[in-house]
Amino acid sequence: MQGKRFLLRSFGVHYLRMSSTAPDNREWVEWDGAKIDVDTLVKVLHFDLHPDSLVKDPFRNHHRPSNVKTLFGAEVRRKD
């Protein structure tokens, strides 16, 4: 890692509590004390929602370049 820069994000500690041992057979799910559904839990664990605020697209880069390099070094235009 010497000389290479990378971004590290830390979200601290969160509290997940369910009424059973698995999300598919539960009556309720709590994330940091708030009741949420299983779809929301999956989005949080996939980092589609911010774990603190449950806001959508928390890591979207508003100033990212329109061209990116591929694995083999070719430069291509973003599709998103």
pLDDT of residue 36: 93
Residue-level pLDDT, tens digit, the chain, 80 residues = 577 777 777 788 999 999 988 877 888 999 999 999 989 998 888 888 888 888 887 676 666 667 767 767 777 776 65
The CA-to-CA distance between both ends of the chain, in Å, stands at 30
pLDDT of residue 80: 55
The reply to whether 28 falls in a domain is: yes
The reply to whether 37 falls in a domain is: yes
Which residues have C-beta within 8 Å of that of residue 80, sequence separation ≥ 6?
A: none
Tally of structural domains, the chain: 1
Provide the residue range defining the domain that includes 72: 16-77
The reply to whether 29 falls in a domain is: yes
